[in-house]
Amino acid sequence: MTDYHELTQAEAVEYARGIENIFPDGAQLESREISDGNLNHVFHITEPASGRGLILKQVLPYAKVVGESVPMSLDRARIENEALRIQGELCPDLSPKVYAYEPDLALMVMEDLSDHIIMRQGLMERGHYPLFAVNIGSFLARTLFFTSDLAMDLLEKKQWVKAFINPELCNITEDLILDAPYKKSRMNVFEPHIRDAVEHIWADTGLHLEVALLREAFLTKAQALLHGDLHSDNIFIKLDSMKVIDPEFAYYGPMGFDIGTIIANLLLNYSGQEGWSTDAQERTDYRLYLLDTVRDLWTQFELQFRKLWNEHAADRMAKTRGYQDLYVARLLQDTIGFAGTIIVCRIHGFIHVADIDQIENAATRERAQRIALEIGAALIKRNRSACSIEEVLDIALKAVGSP
Amino acid sequence: MTDYHELTQAEAVEYARGIENIFPDGAQLESREISDGNLNHVFHITEPASGRGLILKQVLPYAKVVGESVPMSLDRARIENEALRIQGELCPDLSPKVYAYEPDLALMVMEDLSDHIIMRQGLMERGHYPLFAVNIGSFLARTLFFTSDLAMDLLEKKQWVKAFINPELCNITEDLILDAPYKKSRMNVFEPHIRDAVEHIWADTGLHLEVALLREAFLTKAQALLHGDLHSDNIFIKLDSMKVIDPEFAYYGPMGFDIGTIIANLLLNYSGQEGWSTDAQERTDYRLYLLDTVRDLWTQFELQFRKLWNEHAADRMAKTRGYQDLYVARLLQDTIGFAGTIIVCRIHGFIHVADIDQIENAATRERAQRIALEIGAALIKRNRSACSIEEVLDIALKAVGSP
């Protein structure tokens, strides 16, 4: 990495100019840094005259956490680029195009998605995305199935496990999602008004046992190549399109983590609905839409995953009678458990979500936080005995009294 | 690996002469090839005058399987050397000393253990090894615990997972142990007189489901650094000492595989007892000794594993109430399941055991094979519901009518 240096905005523009077939010669380009610069530089480079643009993302050799700058390996640029390449091959319509990758600069140049919006924003505006469930179901089914032992050559899969060993980014999840929220820790950030609920979680040893088992699965279960961070800020969406970005947390882990992460983010928005509409009917309708989306997402995933299994399973053991049913049943359980942990950590852990935190009224925000914690804890406790996605919906309905 | 070539016996002797502090200058050395040369050359080099000796093992770039020569990576020499180093640090008294490792030649020089006997031979001679259970329990507890996420730095553990990716040797287990015995395959070798029992196993879909789950665990569960081939030919033993050799199958996998392999080998010997003694009392006594050893081995393992956990667990989640009990309970289940698969594959799979195959009388041999298959299949079917090691003993007793 001797040739690495942080690009200036001017250098980024010059680099972008060199990408073939995007901008005409001599184009007038503008650049805007659109990241917070904590982990990466992200430049949005456009030609205002034509409306053309691209994204240039450079990974930084440090992470700014709690005000400190912690050194971090640039290897995550390789991992992100490789994961994007694989996701792009498996789901070309659901992944951003990658125009260039420069390993020495830990830099990627990607499709401009500014005609989409960030899905979290879309949800906060109560947007309806009728294709979302089928698209995300397809993304999950294809990326998880085709990178697993069910579909891959077993020797090649092991080489992929090796290539995607991602200790630093996994460690963030292990600490911030699957550990800190269950104990007193400086990595927990929450408002005093929910201290009693947080302390309840710190004291709940039955809950801790389930989290230990989920954390063990995250640490040991090399089932498929995960996205690893599939929340609603990493999904770009519009009515007729959806793109999944930012797989820098990619590694071989339990499939249910990815599915659970996106379900959790839908339920976080669900928990915060009272902050986003004063109209009771509007809230109820949107909450029911979100629950339908959770159900549809799982149903679509299961349908497509089983279809891929029936048509493309390479490993003979995949054809064992009863194995597919048992596999899917355990997958639902993992999904429910991980969804619970994602919800909990986003309420009193280190990194929160705008769907809750940006609610202005303190009492409404508190109610949203309590609903989310109730749903999260209930999902975690249910995980090993769950049999149906309907249980998730029941838990969510119960937490709000009525939708 | 450009400097690699297969050593002649004379070169092996010259190499051995160069190892410090073993042979005096100008010693008269003798060499004997003691392997079958299918995977490795193993030279036993001795100085008859003093009785001193050493073992020189060179990994070959091919494997001879079913008469064919299949290319194989020399990387397994690195893996074996690294695993021996780790096992030697964790269990210095239970591992052979390694004097030298020459990566370019894929060659290791090790302690001469010819004052021990191979444990399989010891069992066939109805030897009693009163320290065996405590020693193997200690070996298993220490190597499995200290290489797991329970004890290791999580980032370092991931680097070890990466370093021990071992696709070719894992694939042998995946195919020959966890697949072929459950279907018609040219990799199955058995005598016509047990065809009905073998066909029963090929048709037993309930059994196949359990094997699929165990195979999935072998493929995905990166729990600890396994020996990977812990059968009784890889244990050298005498009354006051035990050494575990040959960890070339080492990789990060489910702990229960190692524990199950050694239990399976005790039960294979148990199944063959009628071939090794015509004295009913002698047979009964030795069978009871073997069952006691199975119980003691597990009990010692559990005792030591829990002690290590209580004293040395690094990961906070390891201290979660109830987690250790659940961990050990699931470990016993994995152990029982894998033990069953090892027994089955050694009866009608590709690689057999002398304890059974060398029984001269065909009817006695057949009875031994049927007993072993019955025990193996019953263990596999019991695995997910098992709660106690006593269930293994009950299954074994039932299979012989009375011991």
pLDDT, tens digit, 9 for 90 and up, residues B13-64: 999 999 988 999 889 999 999 987 778 999 999 999 999 999 999 999 988 7
What is the rounded CA–CA span in Å between residue A45 and residue A323?
A: 49
Boundary-marking domain end, from B56, B84, B111? B111
Residues of chain B with pLDDT below 50 are 1
Is residue B285, in this structure, part of any structural domain at all? yes
* Residues from chain A contacting residue B168 (CB–CB below 8 Å): 155
* Residues from chain A contacting residue B322 (CB–CB below 8 Å): 205, 209
Is residue B371, in this structure, part of any structural domain at all? yes
Q: Nearest-CA distance from A72 to chain B in Å? A: 13
Burial class (CB in 10 A: 0-12, 13-18, 19+), B80: buried
Q: In which domain, by residue range, is B144 found?
A: 117-399
What type of residue sits at position B167? P
Chain centroid to CA B288: how far? 22
Is it the case that residue A8 has pLDDT exceeding 70? yes
Q: Is A390 annotated as a binding residue?
A: no
B158 and B301 belong to one structural domain: yes
- For an interface test with A, the pick among B70, B76, B79, B161 (most A C-beta atoms closer than 10 Å) comes out as B161
Our count of domains for chain B comes to 2
Q: Nearest-CA distance from A272 to chain B in Å? A: 31
Q: Which residues pair with B68 in a beta bridge?
A: B65
Q: Nearest-CA distance from B203 to chain A in Å? A: 11
What is the rounded CA–CA span in Å between residue B304 and residue B319?
A: 17
Residues 215-254 of A with CB under 8 A from B: 215-216, 219-223
What is the rounded CA–CA span in Å between residue A236 and residue A135?
A: 12
A164 and A235 belong to one structural domain: yes
- Closest chain A residue by Cα to residue B170: A155
A134-144 mean pLDDT: 98
Maximum Cα–Cα distance for chain B, whole Å?
A: 64
CA distance readout (Å), B374 to B286, B297, B332, B400, B403 = 20, 22, 20, 9, 15
B365 and B388 belong to one structural domain: yes
Where residue A316 falls among pLDDT bands split at 50, 70, 90? confident
Is residue B358, in this structure, part of any structural domain at all? yes
pLDDT, tens only, A187-237? 999 999 999 999 999 999 999 999 999 999 999 999 999 999 999 999 999
Q: Which residues touch B130 (CB under 8 Å, ≥6 apart)?
A: B239
Q: What pLDDT score was predicted for residue B36? A: 77
Q: What pLDDT score was predicted for residue A78? A: 97
A256 and A310 belong to one structural domain: yes
Residue at token pair 């090794």: B276
Q: Judging by DSSP bridges, how do beta strands A235-238 and A107-111 pair with one another?
A: unpaired
Where residue A349 falls among pLDDT bands split at 50, 70, 90? very high
B193 and B291 belong to one structural domain: yes
Q: Identify which of B205, B213, B320 has the shortest CB distance to residue A212.
A: B320
Residue A346 near residue A358 (C-beta atoms within 8 A) = no
A341 and A197 belong to one structural domain: yes
- Closest chain B residue by Cα to residue A148: B220
What is the rounded CA–CA span in Å between residue A298 and residue A302?
A: 6
Is residue A33 helix, strand or coil?
strand
Q: What pLDDT score was predicted for residue A244? A: 98
What is the rounded CA–CA span in Å between residue B108 and residue A99?
A: 48
What is the rounded CA–CA span in Å between residue A179 and residue A212?
A: 8
What is the rounded CA–CA span in Å between residue B89 and residue A265?
A: 46
* Residues from chain B contacting residue A168 (CB–CB below 8 Å): 155
Contact call for A149 and B179, based on CB within 8 A: no
- Tokens, residue B118: 């191979």
Q: Is A40 annotated as a binding residue?
A: yes
Contact call for A320 and B159, based on CB within 8 A: no
Contact call for A321 and B213, based on CB within 8 A: no
Q: What pLDDT score was predicted for residue A67? A: 66
Q: What pLDDT score was predicted for residue B39? A: 85
Q: Which residues touch B381 (CB under 8 Å, ≥6 apart)?
A: B206, B207, B210, B340
- Closest chain B residue by Cα to residue A170: B155
Boundary-marking domain end, from B111, B127, B145? B111
A13-40 mean pLDDT: 90
Q: Identify which of B154, B208, B316 has the shortest CB distance to residue A219.
A: B154
Where residue A66 falls among pLDDT bands split at 50, 70, 90? low
List the CATH number of the domain containing B32.
Answer: 3.30.200.20
Contact call for A317 and B216, based on CB within 8 A: yes
Q: Identify which of B161, B165, B321 has the shortest CB distance to residue A208.
A: B321
A160-164 mean pLDDT: 98
Q: Identify which of A158, A219, A322 has the shortest CB distance to residue B209.
A: A322
Is it the case that residue A358 has pLDDT exceeding 90? yes
What type of residue sits at position A333? Q
Q: Is B144 annotated as a binding residue?
A: no
Contact call for B171 and A154, based on CB within 8 A: yes
Q: ipTM of this predicted complex?
A: 0.95
- For an interface test with B, the pick among A207, A226, A323 (most B C-beta atoms closer than 10 Å) comes out as A323
Q: Which helix (H) or strand (E) holds A32?
A: strand A30-33
Backbone angles phi, psi at B401, to 5 degrees: 80, -75
B244 and B299 belong to one structural domain: yes
Q: Identify which of B161, B179, B221 has the shortest CB distance to residue A221.
A: B221
Q: Nearest-CA distance from B320 to chain A in Å? A: 6
Q: What pLDDT score was predicted for residue B37? A: 73
Q: Identify which of A155, A219, A323 has the shortest CB distance to residue B167.
A: A155
Q: Identify which of B183, B222, B320 has the shortest CB distance to residue A208.
A: B320
Q: What pLDDT score was predicted for residue A68? A: 73
Is residue A172, in this structure, part of any structural domain at all? yes
Three-state secondary structure string covering chain B: CCCCCCCCHHHHHHHHHCCCCCCCCCCCCEEEECCCCCCEEEEEEEECCCCEEEEEEEECCEEEECCEEEECCCHHHHHHHHHHHHHHHHCHHHCCCEEEEEHHHCEEEEECCCCCEEHHHHHHCCCCCCCHHHHHHHHHHHHHHHCCCCCCCHHHHHHHHHHCCCHHHHHHHHHHHCCHHHCCCCCCCCCHHHHHHHHHHHHCHHHHHHHHHHHHHHHHECCEEECCCCCCCCEEEECCEEEECCHHHCEEECHHHHHHHHHHHHHHHHHCHHHCCCCHHHHHHHHHHHHHHHHHHHHHHHHHHHHHHHHHCCCHHHHCCCHHHHHHHHHHHHHHHHHHHHHHHHHHCCCCCHHHHCCCCHHHHHHHHHHHHHHHHHHHHHHHHCCCCHHHHHHHHHHCCCC
Q: What pLDDT score was predicted for residue A368? A: 98
Cα dihedral A328, A329, A331, A334, rounded to 10, equals: 180
Boundary-marking domain end, from B64, B92, B111? B111
What percentage of chain A has pLDDT greater than the value 90? Answer: 92
Q: Name which of A63-67, A130-134, A360-364 the model is least confident about.
A: A63-67
B272 and B200 belong to one structural domain: yes
Of A324, A387, A221, A313, the closest CA to residue B209 belongs to A324
Contact call for B216 and A149, based on CB within 8 A: yes
**Which one-letter DSSP state was computed for residue A8?**
P
CB contact B384 to A (< 8 Å) = no
Residue B283 near residue B271 (C-beta atoms within 8 A) = no
Q: Is B246 annotated as a binding residue?
A: yes
Is it the case that residue A402 has pLDDT exceeding 90? no
Of B284, B290, B391, B279, the closest CA to residue B335 belongs to B391
List the CATH number of the domain containing A344.
Answer: 3.90.1200.10
pLDDT, tens only, A240-271? 999 999 999 999 999 999 999 999 999 999 99
What type of residue sits at position B192? P
**Which one-letter DSSP state was computed for residue A186?**
T
- Closest chain A residue by Cα to residue B211: A317
- For an interface test with B, the pick among A149, A317, A384 (most B C-beta atoms closer than 10 Å) comes out as A317
In order, the DSSP letters of A267-283 are: HHHHHTGGGT-S-HHHH
- Measured in residues, chain B has a length of 403
Q: Is B167 annotated as a binding residue?
A: no
Cα dihedral A311, A317, A323, A325, rounded to 10, equals: -20
Is residue A4, in this structure, part of any structural domain at all? no
* Residues from chain B contacting residue A211 (CB–CB below 8 Å): 317, 320
What percentage of chain A has pLDDT greater than the value 70? Answer: 98
Chain centroid to CA A281: how far? 30
B79 and B167 belong to one structural domain: no
Contact call for B149 and A322, based on CB within 8 A: no
Q: Is B111 annotated as a binding residue?
A: yes
A289 and A304 belong to one structural domain: yes
Residue A226 near residue A380 (C-beta atoms within 8 A) = no
- Closest chain A residue by Cα to residue B178: A317
Burial class (CB in 10 A: 0-12, 13-18, 19+), B68: exposed
B172 and B301 belong to one structural domain: yes
What is the rounded CA–CA span in Å between residue B24 and residue B17?
A: 9
Residues 155-194 of B with CB under 8 A from A: 155, 158-159, 161-162, 165-168, 170-171, 174, 178-179, 183
Q: What pLDDT score was predicted for residue A39? A: 85
A94 and A127 belong to one structural domain: no
Is residue B99, in this structure, part of any structural domain at all? yes
What is the rounded CA–CA span in Å between residue A365 and residue B328?
A: 43
What type of residue sits at position A50? S
Is it the case that residue A1 has pLDDT exceeding 70? no
Q: Nearest-CA distance from B64 to chain A in Å? A: 19
Is residue A217, in this structure, part of any structural domain at all? yes
Is residue B238, in this structure, part of any structural domain at all? yes
CA distance readout (Å), B92 to A153, B31, B236, B270, B280 = 38, 27, 14, 30, 40
